[in-house]
Structure 1
C-alpha cells in the first residue's frame, strides 16, 4: 500500500472496544437485532458477491454482531446463516474501530492483532480487509469484509471501494427491515379489518348467482359446502315476518337501478335470531338495466356494543383510515389518519376531500378514487402528496354503498431507502462497466473514447476525456452529451478548446498539480479569448465544470472533465463516483503503458537473439518471428540460418519447453551452442544435434527443447544436374515442408523424430536425405503456426500444406507474410518462428529478390560460380 492508505493499529486483542463491551452495549445490540435479516437475502448475497468480484478475493462476508456474530451473507469460506462467539471473529475487531475506519491486514499470520484467532490459525484467512457497518445513529452493528487464504497487499482504492459497498449493505439491511415492518403492519391491518365482522355480497342479475364471502356465509349459519349461491339461500334464512318487505326492497333496487338499505332478522339453523343490517348498490349497463347488486352486511344484534368495537378496532389500527360519503365528505377519521394528515378529525369531519386537500385534485389520488367508485372494485397504489404533507403514501381504497373507505400508510422512508439503494446499485453497476471496459478487449484508445458514454447521463450532463500522449501533450480523445442535438457542438469544442486554453485554465492546472479543480461555467468562459472555442462553450452553457485528474503511479495521465447544466440533489454522490471512475481510468492507462513498455522490451530482447540470415549465392533465405498475442511476448521459439565452413547452408528451427523469460534465456544458450558446434565441426545435422545434447549435459543446462536441422549441400555434378541435397535430423520437432518448382508440396518420405534435446545425451541421432530440384522452397516452422485449441495438429498441418500450395507463385517474403495472415491473422495463440530457403536456378544470374550475396570470408564460394 502507498503512503495514503489508512491502516488501524488496534494493538493486541480487540482494540478500542472489547467483545464484552460490544455485547453489553444495549443500544448497539438492539440496533443490530432490528436489522437482522429473516427472509430473502438475495440483495445481501449480491452485494457480498460484488465485493469479492470488485476486490478480486476468494471470500467475502457480511456479519451482524449481537451477543454473537451472525453471518448474514457471504461467499467462499463464509458460512452463511451461522453464528459464533464475538471473541473469535475478525469482524468484532473491525466493529470496535471508529466509524469510517478499516481493518487492513495484509498478512494475518504475522499480525499480532489477529494471528491467534481461529480463522487465521485454520488457514481460512491469510489476508483481511474489513470496514464497520453503522446504523444512522452511528452505533456499530457489524462489519463487511473480504479475505483470501494467502497474504496480499490492499490498495487505497480497494479500501475506498469496500467502504462504498458497506454503505450499500447498510441500505439493503435497512430496506429489508422496513419492508418486514411494513408487512407486519399490513397483516395487523387485515386482521383488524376481519375483526370488524363485515361481510360482502354480489348478486348477478344475468345468471342469478349470489356470491357471499366467508364472513357472510358464517354469519348466516351456512358452511362453504351447503351455501346454495342463489337468492333462495338468502330467503331460507330470513325471518318469516321480514321476508316479504325485504324481497320488495331488493326488487325495487333492481328495477330502479338504485340503492338497497335494510335492517332485518334472520333465523340461524340452531334457532337463534340475529339482526342484520345490509346495504347495496345496483350497477347498470348502458341501457339502464341492472346487471349486478353489490353490497355489505353485518350483524347489528348488539349494535351499540358492535359499533363501539368497530370504532375501537379502527382507532387501534397502525394504518391511517378515513371514510368518505358519496359527496366526498369525511365521515370518519381515525387517530393515525389525524397524525399522517396533520389535521384533527374535528377539522375534517363533514368537510369535502377536494377542499381540504386541494393538491389531490387532478392527481393520481382523484383518478384512482373515482376509478374505484366507478368500477366498484378496490384500488391500491403509491402516490406522493406535496407540502405540507410532503411524503409518499401507500393507499388502498374500497368502494361501498356509503361511499369510499381509504386505508393508508406513509412510506416516505421506505421510498427514500429504495431510491438510495437503486442509486447505489446504478453507481456500482457503472463502476463495474467501467472496470470491464478498461480491462476488456478494447484497446486503451477505444476504451477512453467510450468512457464518456458510460459517465453521461448517469453522473453528469456532458463529459470530455483527455489523455496525455507519449510526448507529454494532452489530447481530447472522447466526449458525450446527454442532449443529442448538442453532441456535434461538443465534438467540435473538443477539437479546438485545448489550443485556446490559457496556462491558468482549470484543465492545465489539474494536469500540472494532479488535483481536482472546480469552476463555474462563466469563469471558464471568461478565460477564453473571443473566437470559435468561446462561442462553442457559450452554446454548451455549463453551470459548473469539474476537472478530475486520471492519476497513475506518481503521474497524471489524463483528465475526466464533467459538466453540470443544472443543480441535482445527487450531485455530490455523482461527483464522488466520477472521481473513482477517473482513478480507475488513470490506473488502467498506467498499467497499459507499463505493459506495452514491458512487451516492447521483451520482444526487443527476443528479436536481438534472432539474427538476420546470410545471403548465399542463388539461395534466398527469409525468416519471421511473431510472439503470442496473449503471452508476455517472450518465449523459447527460435530460427537460425548460417553457412558452415565447408560452404553448406544450415537451417535450424527450435522450441524450448516453456513460454517465459527462462525459456527465452535457455533458447539463447541452445542457439549459441548449436551454432558453435556446427560452425566448428562442419558436421552434418545428426552429429550437430548429438553434440548439442552432450554440451547441454556437460554445462548442466536444465531444459528440454525440440529442434529440426536441415543442411543444404551440393557437389559439382549436382550443380550440373540442377539439384541440391538436403540432409536433415529431427529432435522431436515438426517435419519441414518442401514446395517443388511445380508448385506442389512434396512428400519427404517417412519422417520419424528422435527424442527431445535434454532427455538422454546418449541418444543416437538419425539423418534423412532428399534431393531437391532448383526452384524448390524449404519451410521450417514451430507449432504455433498450426496448433489450435479447437482442432488437432494433423488438421493444422493440412491447412498449412493447402495454404502453401495456393500461395506458391508469390515471392518468398510475400509467401511468409501471407501464411502468417491466413493461419494466425497476426494474433497467434503461441509463438511462431519460420525459416525458409528458396533454391533459385544456378544456370542464370542470382535474382534481385534474393538480395546481394553475403557470406563469411572463410566460406568457399558457390560451386555454381566455378
Structure 2
C-alpha cells in the first residue's frame, strides 16, 4: 500500500505519491504513507476515525513526539500497542519521521510500515529522514501560494481529463494527423498546424532532434516499434517533456504505410524524477542501482565518495569488472540472492584494498534490477573490534587483578602482621625507655604482650645472686586479674626444679608447651599454686628468656587458654624480640643504678654547702635536667679568700654527662685554688684559670662569672658593700635592690669564654650595693629552653624576682625555679643567691649559723659597738 493523504481528504499530489513510493522502495517496506495535518488541528489529532489498516494513529503519535518514531514490534511497544492498527494486526513494524516546516512546526509525517515485526537500522532512519526533508520542502513550497496551488490543480485536472493524444503519420503522403491533445501538447492550433514533419521538427528541442529522427527512421525502415521521450520547445519558450510510442503499419504491398502512435506529457514525471534524484544526491547514505546485466544505472554523490570513483567511471560499467574482489565474496553471494529470490538482504562485509573498508549493505530487487544502499561502518567496526579486544584485555586484566588482589591481600595481611609486631615493639620500647627503674620498666611488660600474644602472662626477674622474683603479671580479663595476682605471689616457691621455667633458664632458650599446659605445669607445682593454675586453665604456654650482654636477666611466660591456637613461629619471633628489648632495658637499668651510685657520690663531693660569713646570707640550688643526669656541666661555688672577702662563682662546662662533670670538677677546683692563693680580683682569677686550663690540658670550654664582695672601713661606715665581678661569656648576674628594682649587671658586656684563648684580655666591673640587696647568679638553663629565647626568659626572670622581692632568700630561690622551670627540664640549672643584711645589728637567724674556714679574719665590730 502506497498513499499520500491528508486526514479526511483525497490523496495528495503525485509528488508526495512518488516520495511515498520511493520510501517504500528504498526501505523495502510493503506500505508507506505521507500523512498531513489539517489546518487548525493539533499535531497528532486525526480529523476522522482512521480506516482499518491505516497508520494514521501511529503518525499522530509521531507528529506529537516531533522526532522519529522507531517501532520494531508494535505489539510489545507500550507507545503504540493499544492503537487500532496494532490491535487489529494490520501494523507490527513502523518507522515514521515528522515533516517540519521552515519555522519548525510539524506539517505531517512520512512513514513506512509492515504487518510483521522488523528491526529498523540506523541507516533506515537516515534514509527516511532524508526523504522526509524533501517532502517537507515540497509541502513548504506548495504553501507559498494558495492560488498557485489551485491553478496547478486545475491544470492537472485538465491534463487528466484530456488523456493521451494520438497521431497518424501517412508515410506515403508524408502527412501528419494529430488530435486535439497532441496539438495542445505541441503548442499548435488546428489552424496553425500544417500536418508536415517540418512542423513537428520545429517543436522538437534541437538537442533531442537527431535522436528522435534516428528512432523514427529505425521504426519506419525496420518496421520496429517506435519509442522516444524528448523535449518540446513551445512558442512561448517553455520546454515540455513528452513520451511517444508507435507501431509501423504496412500497406497491402507490404511496405510501411503508416506510423500510428500516442503521445503523453511526461513533464511532471521528469520533474519528479529530478526531485527524486536530488533526494538521492542529498542522502547521507551511499546508494546505487544496477540493471539486470549488473551494470551501474545510477550512483549518488555519497556512493562516489565511498567507492572512490567518479560517476562517469561507474555508470554503464559492470560491477564485477570494476570491483573484482567482490566476485565470490559476500557481496556477490548476497546480491545474487536478492536478485534470484526477490528478498531483501542485509549484511556486513569487508572490501579489501584499495578500499579496505567495512560496509553495512542493504540490497533488494526492483523492476529495473537491483537497488543497493550502504554505509561505511569501518570506524564502527574498528570500534567493535577494539571493544572486543578491550573486553578480552579487560578480562585478562581482571584475572591479573584478581591474582594481584589475592597477592596484595596476602601482602597486606603480612604487612598488617608486621605493623602490629612493629607497633607492639614500639610500644614496648617506648614504655621501657620511659623509666630506668628496673621493676617499674619490666613489670608493665605484660600489658603489652596481652592480648597481642596471649591471654595472660607473668614476668620474672633474675637478680644478681640468681634468685627469681615474679615482679609483674597481667590478664586480658579484668575479673581474673586478682586470681592471677595470687598465683604470681605463690608460684615460685611451689615450682619444681624440673618445671619448664627452670628449664628455659638453665638452657637459655625458649620453651613451648603447645597443649595441656595446665596439666603439665600443674604436675610440677604444689598447692596452693596448683589449684590457682587449674582455675586459670591455660592450654599452651611459651617461656622466653630475657637476655642482655651475654646473660639472662629475666623470663616472660605467656599463657593461652583453650580454643586459642598455640603460638606460631611468628608469635615466637615477636616474643623473642620483645624479650631481647626487655632484657636490654633490665640490664641498662642495672648499669644505670651502678652509674647513679658513682655519680651521686661525685655530686655530693662537688655541690657542697656554701660558707656563711657574717651578715651575708648565701643560698645555692641545683636542678638536674633529668634523673639520668644528676651530674652535668653546671656548677657553683662560694668561699672566702684569705683576706676575708667573699667570692661567688658560677659556671657551665660544655656537656651534660659524667665527662662534663669531671671537667667541671677540674675547672671548679682550679678556680677555687687560684682565687684563694692569689687573692686577686675576679678578672685576675679568670685569666689565671684560663692559663691553667691550657697548661694542664683541661680540654673543655666553659662560661663563668666570678664575683667578689669587698668592704673597706669607709664603706662599712656608710653601710654599703662593693661588688666586683668579671664575666667570661656567662649570663649576667641579676641585682634586686631594697626598693624592689631588678637590674641585670651587664656592665660593658662579657668577655671571651674560658678554654678558647688564655691571652684574651679580661676586665673587672664593680658596683656599690646597699644593705638589703640581693644578688642572683644562675646558669643559662634557667632562662633558655626549646621554644623560648634568652630575652624572653630574662624578662620572665626579672618578673619573678619582682614578685618575690619580699620573700626570704630560700623562698626567692625556690619561687624563681618554680616559675621558670618546666616540669621536665631539658637542661640542668645552678643558682647562687646572696643577700646583704645590715651590719649594725646582730646576724639574722635566717642567715644560718656563722660557718667560715679557720684563719679568716673576723669582721670588725659595727660602729659604736
TM-score, with length taken from structure 1: 0.50
TM-score, with length taken from structure 2: 0.50
